[in-house]
């Protein structure tokens, strides 16, 4: 009889990737809900809206028509054409043609294949701190080295081009820009983006422009795509999401554009080796979303702005939080005041998150999951239904004697 030998797993990059702090909070809230306790889901950014009716109809038609088979790896031709026209019309990107457009399984997948295509082991990518957790993790998974560039409260969490350029080394391959920004809600102005594009051209770098929240922007502000700026056409990889603009988060579709032929070839190989074509029915829905009426997208943005104002009114009455008014996206970023005595012997973002769950069943995300600069902060998402935002705004002040 042969004795079985247990397989041995050696060290792996994935061992250093966390399972996700926000998931921990979500699971705790859902456990409370299962026990009949009221909860308010302000921990994660999942739009509360249904997909637009014409998008649903297009997907149902695709099912009826048997559009359920393998598609072209980079996306079905009607969708790539619709994306190209949208990017030219709205984002003013000077793209070579449909060959510069790739369809991905969500914007996160777009980030993954971008960094895998850009980075060899040890290559550096400069990214903002705080930043969306998965941006950092996808650089690491690509074998790259994330280099954090702190954004500070005193300057409204604005990008500082001079600080970015000071971090450039011989191993730097790209600079990440996220506007509107998750988690702070800051919007990067045109002049700042232009300077970052100039830095990229000066040093032979790419700019990875995460524009997932391009349509969630407030107070009449303008969304500017870095790839539309002078010098951006050859150095910017622009990444977009159908999740935020059309509430298609569970349908998993994003897209990206880049003019560099070598990068397109690399990314196309990664598409084949990861998903081998995005969900066919969802792609037909995306065609309808991009070419049909945009009323639903505009209405969602108006509702998000109203929710922001409701939440900010409540947070302004919480004596131990110092919120920043978001300019875009659907997150409110708040610093924990020095006078807060803490919760269960701790005073960090995790302690505040736990306190909010324990006292009010209110979800939030601890700032620490977004990077070192996020320490001592919490992020609230107002993508949940308006009634939950209203309830949270009413409950929050009372939890701390406000």
> Which pTM does this prediction carry?
0.94
Q: Which residue has the tokens 């990737």?
A: 17
Q: What is the pLDDT of residue 299?
A: 97
Q: Over 70: is that where the pLDDT of 1 sits? A: no
Q: Over 60: is that where the pLDDT of 3 sits? A: yes
Q: What is the pLDDT of residue 402?
A: 57
Task: Determine what percent of the chain is predicted with pLDDT higher than 90.
Answer: 90
**Strand pairing class (321-324; 331-336):** antiparallel
pLDDT tens-digit series, residues 153-180:
888 899 999 999 999 999 999 999 999 9
**Helix 77-89, helix 280-291: angle, nearest 10:** 30
**Helix 53-64, helix 280-291: angle, nearest 10:** 140
pLDDT tens-digit series, residues 180-237:
999 999 999 999 999 999 999 999 999 999 999 999 999 999 999 999 999 999 999 9
Q: Are 279 and 72 in contact (CB under 8 A)?
A: no
Residue 323's DSSP bridge partners are 334
Residue 230 burial by Cβ neighbours in a 10 Å radius (0-12, 13-18, 19+): exposed
Q: How many residues does the chain have?
A: 402
Average pLDDT of the chain to the nearest whole number: 95
Helix %, strand %, coil % of the chain (to 5): 45, 15, 40
Measured distance CA(30)–CA(320) in Å, rounded? 26
Local confidence band at 75 (pLDDT 50, 70, 90 cut-offs): very high
Q: Which of 152 and 195 is assigned the larger pLDDT?
A: 195
SS3 100: helix
Q: DSSP string spanning 138-205?
A: HHHHTT-EEEEEE--GGGTT---HHHHHHT--TTEEEEEEESS-TTT-----HHHHHHHHHHHHHHT-
Q: Over 80: is that where the pLDDT of 2 sits? A: no
Torsional class of 156: left (φ above 0), alpha (ψ -120 to 50), beta (otherwise)? left
Q: Which of 244, 184, 172, 242 is nearest to 208 (CA)?
A: 172
Same CATH fold assignment for domains 16-45+296-399 and 67-291 = no
Q: What is the pLDDT of residue 142?
A: 96
Torsional class of 181: left (φ above 0), alpha (ψ -120 to 50), beta (otherwise)? beta
Q: Are 98 and 77 in contact (CB under 8 A)?
A: yes
CATH of domain 67-291: 3.40.640.10
Domain boundaries, the chain: 16-45+296-399, 67-291
Which long-range contacts does 98-101 make (Cβ < 8 Å, 24+ apart)?
Answer: 99/264, 100/257, 100/258, 100/259, 100/264, 101/74, 101/75, 101/255, 101/256, 101/257
Q: Which two tokens stand for residue 254?
A: 């994003």
The maximal CA–CA distance of the chain, rounded, in angstroms, is 75
SS3 111: helix
Torsional class of 187: left (φ above 0), alpha (ψ -120 to 50), beta (otherwise)? beta
Measured distance CA(258)–CA(93) in Å, rounded? 10
Measured distance CA(151)–CA(370) in Å, rounded? 12
As a whole number, mean pLDDT of residues 231-253 equals 97
Q: What is the pLDDT of residue 173?
A: 98
**Cis peptide upstream of residue 139 (ω within 30 degrees of 0):** no
pLDDT tens-digit series, residues 256-303:
999 999 999 999 999 999 999 999 999 999 999 999 999 999 999 999
CATH of domain 16-45+296-399: 3.90.1150.10
Task: Determine what percent of the chain is predicted with pLDDT higher than 70.
Answer: 99
Q: What is the pLDDT of residue 8?
A: 87
Q: What is the pLDDT of residue 17?
A: 86
Using alpha carbons, list the distances in angstroms from residue 156 to 17, 59, 147, 186.
29, 42, 21, 7
The HSE-up count of residue 103 (CA atoms within 13 Å, CB side) is: 31
Q: Which residue has the tokens 């919490």?
A: 378
List the 365-366 sheet strands across, edge first.
321-324, 331-336, 377-381, 365-366
Measured distance CA(86)–CA(117) in Å, rounded? 25
Q: Over 60: is that where the pLDDT of 139 sits? A: yes
Query: How many C-beta atoms surround the C-beta of residue 294 within 10 A?
Result: 16
Q: Over 70: is that where the pLDDT of 340 sits? A: yes
């Amino acid at each position: 009889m042969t004795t079985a030998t247990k397989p041995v797993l050696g060290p792996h990059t994935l061992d250093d990737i966390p399972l996700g702090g926000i998931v921990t909070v979500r699971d705790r809230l859902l456990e409370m809900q299962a026990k009949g306790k009221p909860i308010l889901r302000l921990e994660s950014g999942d739009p509360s809206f249904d997909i637009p009716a014409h998008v649903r109809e297009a997907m149902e038609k695709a099912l009826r028509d048997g559009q359920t088979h393998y598609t072209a790896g980079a996306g079905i031709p009607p969708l790539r054409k619709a994306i190209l026209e949208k990017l030219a019309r709205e984002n003013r990107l000077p793209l070579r043609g449909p060959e510069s457009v790739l369809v991905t399984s969500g914007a996160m997948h777009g980030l993954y294949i971008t960094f895998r295509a850009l980075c060899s082991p040890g290559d550096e990518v400069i990214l903002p701190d705080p930043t969306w957790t998965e941006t950092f993790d996808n650089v690491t998974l690509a074998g790259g080295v994330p280099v954090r560039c702190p954004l500070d409260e005193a300057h409204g969490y604005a990008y500082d081009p001079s600080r970015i350029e000071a971090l450039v080394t011989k191993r730097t391959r790209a600079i990440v820009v996220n506007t509107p920004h998750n988690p702070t809600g800051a919007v990067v102005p045109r002049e700042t983006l232009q300077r970052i594009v100039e830095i990229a051209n000066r040093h032979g770098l790419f700019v990875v422009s995460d524009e997932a929240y391009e349509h969630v922007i407030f107070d009449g502000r303008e969304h500017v795509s870095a790839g539309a700026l002078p010098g951006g056409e050859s150095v910017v990889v622009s990444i977009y999401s159908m999740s935020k603009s059309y509430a298609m988060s569970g349908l998993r579709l994003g897209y990206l554009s880049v003019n560099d032929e070598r990068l397109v070839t690399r990314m196309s190989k990664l598409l084949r080796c990861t998903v081998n074509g995005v969900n066919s029915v969802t792609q037909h829905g995306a065609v309808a979303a991009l070419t049909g009426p945009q009323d639903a997208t505009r209405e969602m943005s108006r509702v998000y702005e109203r929710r922001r104002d409701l939440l900010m009114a409540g947070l302004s009455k919480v004596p131990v939080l110092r919120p920043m008014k978001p300019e875009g996206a659907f997150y409110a970023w708040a610093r924990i005041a020095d006078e807060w005595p803490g919760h269960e012997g701790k005073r960090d973002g995790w302690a505040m998150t736990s306190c909010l769950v324990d006292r009010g069943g209110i979800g939030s995300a601890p700032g620490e999951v977004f990077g070192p600069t996020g320490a001592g902060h919490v992020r609230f998402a107002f993508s949940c239904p308006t009634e939950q935002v209203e309830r949270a705004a009413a409950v929050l002040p009372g939890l701390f004697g406000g």
